[in-house]
Chains A and B, each alone.
Chain A
Amino acid sequence: MFQEIPSGLCLVLSGIIFSIGAIGAITRRNVIVIFMCIELMLNAVNLAFIASGNAFSSMDGAVFVFFIMTVAAVEAAVGLAIFVMVFRLQGTVNADEVNLLKG
């Protein structure tokens, strides 16, 4: 089934998903939503890897996806712990209100 979809279209789709994620990560203010947008970007990367691996009939792309999924899980664990810590100390996880450090 998958072979019938041209890999170019998959890359275009992954580009669209990546852009949605990137725009969301910049415009949204709740850090959990920002983090979800970043996960969306990672999934777009996964799609690009799978599609190009399929096009080149190489396993490298699929293997890379496993590493990305593992790292995304680790990042989620660490990230959510950090969000909890910030929420306990400041009572909010809104990116606009967490501003003790002026940048």
Chain B
Amino acid sequence: MVVMKPELAFGWIIPEIVITLSAVFILLLSAFRRKNDIGRLAGGVSLIGAGLALFFTCRLWNSDIDIYNGLYTIDNFGLFFKALVLVISLLVTLLSLRYVEREEMIKGEYYALLLFGILGMMIMVSSNHFVTIFIGLEVMSIAIYVLCGLLIGNPRSAEASLKYFLLGAFATAFLLYGIALIYGTTGILDVREIARYVTSGNFLITPAFMAGMALLIVGFGFKTASVPFHMWTPDVYEGAPTSITAYMATGVKAAAFGAFLRVFYTALYPFLTEWSGMLWVIAVLTMTLGNITALMQNDIKRMLAYSSIAHAGYILIAFAVGDRIFSASILFYLLVYTFMNIGAFAVVILLGRKEAPNTGIESYAGLATRHPMIALAMSVFLLSLAGVPPLAGFMGKFYVLSDAIKAGYYWLAIIGVLNSVVAVYYYLRVIMYMYFKEPEGEIGRMDLSPAYAVVIVISIWALIHMGIFPRSFLLIARESVNIFM
């Protein structure tokens, strides 16, 4: 671990710099050009920016360095999550190219905020210091509060924005009070220093410290959409523009789990016995409630929202197990989850039109006869979400559940398996509608564009590849969690 002088450190944050500059460039473009012709240009700039940032992030792999007096850390764990959110931003930007035109959103601001959100996620996952984690979290959240309401004139979108804003700000206050209590008992804000201090022997765990830990779980639980802090999820996911729903379901969840893992597996790891029980209960509640409520949904966006809650529950299984090597399966799960969710939302976007979003399950009736390829793609994503081999969703669940068994958490594993059996029902229901139901009325011509095809093909390829050869991806995840050793 080397500590560098601040002025020398710009080489380490090139990805963040590239993203910031692209976002500012797009904002300037939209200020100086007429609004209606900027869509493709802004989309192109954000694709190039995210691509470059991804390239530089991969170049930095295997570095382990603290910069800016320990406020920022470049390590494999952070780089893994940075690469993941950059892939998410590339896929979401591709999805948005046609979607923002169709929904007549404000294009310049849309892409700029998308990039600022990514910037927040990148900052949040690559710091060991509470100040930087908080700043990253807020940069991300504030961008997304606005993005949720960007369907101008649509009251549902405005309402989603309002709900996400109020509950997000509420959750932030809890997270901050948790940090304040931990700071109040230790006097330290750096998570590794806290770990060193609490294990040094002259620290006695106090109720205030315990309360701080619980409040941190509440704060991160909101961002990762875990029960009982999930109330906003279905409403916000339903009301927000569909591309932003995909972005929130994958990006926000990944970044929040990244910071959550880093704090709990470093600073609070000595208190594993205290928080593991809490997370055990949250994991069971999250899986069960997510899956059971998803059974009753007739709107596909709401169904996917509850399914994303359930998937957070599966991830929390590996989290509650609390073994540092096993946490690699969390990273692998998040990677797999990203592709299957973005793919499913791509199909949802494809079926919608401006005047009719077509998110009801009956819109999918008879899709297989009219658009067999799209129905096939949707089936792949849904089967992967359900965890059917040989798709990657199965491997993700397999690693998480086998970790729980290896660590002796048999009940958690059994509840997880039962839950994934329940989940098969509502995923197969959509497939049943697509293949065995007669269409009710004409859905109209579909708004096909090559960008959607690119996203769908990449996602399917990734799911099949990671399902059949998961080993290399798991090894990358193992290298990332090495920082906890």
User: Residues of A at under 8 Å CB distance from B?
Assistant: 7, 11, 14, 18, 21-22, 25, 31, 34-35, 38, 41-42, 44-45, 48-49, 51-53, 55-56, 58, 60-61, 63-64, 67-68, 71, 74-75, 78-79, 82-83, 85-86, 89-90, 95, 98-103
The distance in angstroms between the C-alpha atoms of A9 and B315, with both chains bound, is 40
Task: Tell me, rounded to whole Å, the shortest Cβ–Cβ distance linking B130 to chain A.
Answer: 8
Closest partner residue, chain B, to A101 (CB atom): B235
The distance in angstroms between the C-alpha atoms of A60 and B180, with both chains bound, is 11
Contacting residues, chain B, for A85 (C-beta < 8 A): 149, 158, 161
The distance in angstroms between the C-alpha atoms of A22 and B167, with both chains bound, is 11
A42-B176, A90-B155 known; A67 vs B231 contact (CB < 8 Å): no
Partner of B159, one of A22, A56, A79, A98: A98
Please tell me if the beta carbons of B165 and A52 are within 8 angstroms of each other in the complex. no
Contacting residues, chain A, for B134 (C-beta < 8 A): 64, 67-68, 71
Please tell me if the beta carbons of B156 and A100 are within 8 angstroms of each other in the complex. yes
Closest partner residue, chain B, to A43 (CB atom): B173
Closest partner residue, chain A, to B137 (CB atom): A71
Please count how many residues in chain B sit with their CB below 8 Å of the partner chain's CB atoms: 43
Stretch at the interface among B27-35, B138-146, B402-410, B444-452: B138-146
Please tell me if the beta carbons of B156 and A45 are within 8 angstroms of each other in the complex. no
Closest partner residue, chain B, to A72 (CB atom): B169
Stretch at the interface among B77-85, B182-190, B244-252, B280-288: B182-190
Please tell me if the beta carbons of A100 and B142 are within 8 angstroms of each other in the complex. no
Partner of B238, one of A48, A53, A101: A101
A71-B138, A101-B239 known; A45 vs B176 contact (CB < 8 Å): yes
Please tell me if the beta carbons of B180 and A79 are within 8 angstroms of each other in the complex. no
Task: Tell me, rounded to whole Å, the shortest Cβ–Cβ distance linking A72 to chain B.
Answer: 9
Extra contacts, 6 of them, besides A58-B187, A82-B149 (Cβ < 8 A), are: A18-B173, A48-B181, A52-B183, A85-B158, A101-B163, A103-B232
Contacting residues, chain B, for A79 (C-beta < 8 A): 145, 165-166, 169
Contacting residues, chain B, for A74 (C-beta < 8 A): 138, 142
Please tell me if the beta carbons of B177 and A45 are within 8 angstroms of each other in the complex. yes
Q: Could you give 9 example pairs across A and B, Cβ below 8 Å?
A: A14-B180, A25-B166, A44-B177, A45-B180, A52-B183, A60-B188, A64-B189, A86-B159, A103-B232
Q: Tell yes or no: B278 within 8 A of A by CB.
A: no
Q: Tell yes or no: B50 within 8 A of A by CB.
A: no
Closest partner residue, chain A, to B215 (CB atom): A18
Task: Tell me, rounded to whole Å, the shortest Cβ–Cβ distance linking A70 to chain B.
Answer: 9
Please tell me if the beta carbons of B158 and A38 are within 8 angstroms of each other in the complex. no
User: Residues of B at under 8 Å CB distance from A?
Assistant: 130-131, 134-135, 138, 142, 145-146, 149, 153-156, 158-163, 165-166, 169-170, 172-174, 176-177, 179-181, 183-184, 187-189, 208, 231-232, 234-235, 238-239
Task: Tell me, rounded to whole Å, the shortest Cβ–Cβ distance linking B162 to chain A.
Answer: 5
The distance in angstroms between the C-alpha atoms of A80 and B420, with both chains bound, is 42
The distance in angstroms between the C-alpha atoms of A35 and B154, with both chains bound, is 23
Contacting residues, chain A, for B188 (C-beta < 8 A): 60
Partner of A52, one of B155, B180, B231, B234: B180
Q: Is the interface of B mostly helix, strand, loop or mixed?
A: helix
The distance in angstroms between the C-alpha atoms of A84 and B142, with both chains bound, is 16
A48-B177, A63-B131 known; A90 vs B158 contact (CB < 8 Å): yes
Partner of A41, one of B131, B173, B187, B231: B173
By CB atoms of chain B within 10 A, which of A18, A34, A82, A98 has the most? A82
Closest partner residue, chain B, to A26 (CB atom): B170
By CB atoms of chain A within 10 A, which of B149, B165, B174 has the most? B165
The 9 closest A-B CB pairs, nearest first, are: A56-B187, A52-B184, A41-B173, A48-B180, A101-B235, A89-B155, A45-B176, A103-B235, A71-B138
Please tell me if the beta carbons of A86 and B180 are within 8 angstroms of each other in the complex. no
The distance in angstroms between the C-alpha atoms of A58 and B190, with both chains bound, is 13
The distance in angstroms between the C-alpha atoms of A99 and B162, with both chains bound, is 11
The distance in angstroms between the C-alpha atoms of A95 and B231, with both chains bound, is 14
The distance in angstroms between the C-alpha atoms of A56 and B181, with both chains bound, is 13
Please tell me if the beta carbons of B231 and A103 are within 8 angstroms of each other in the complex. yes
Contacting residues, chain A, for B177 (C-beta < 8 A): 18, 41, 44-45, 48
Closest partner residue, chain B, to A7 (CB atom): B184
Contacting residues, chain B, for A98 (C-beta < 8 A): 159, 162
Please tell me if the beta carbons of B146 and A78 are within 8 angstroms of each other in the complex. yes
Closest partner residue, chain A, to B183 (CB atom): A52
Please tell me if the beta carbons of B169 and A75 are within 8 angstroms of each other in the complex. yes
The distance in angstroms between the C-alpha atoms of A74 and B165, with both chains bound, is 12
Contacting residues, chain B, for A75 (C-beta < 8 A): 138, 142, 165, 169, 172
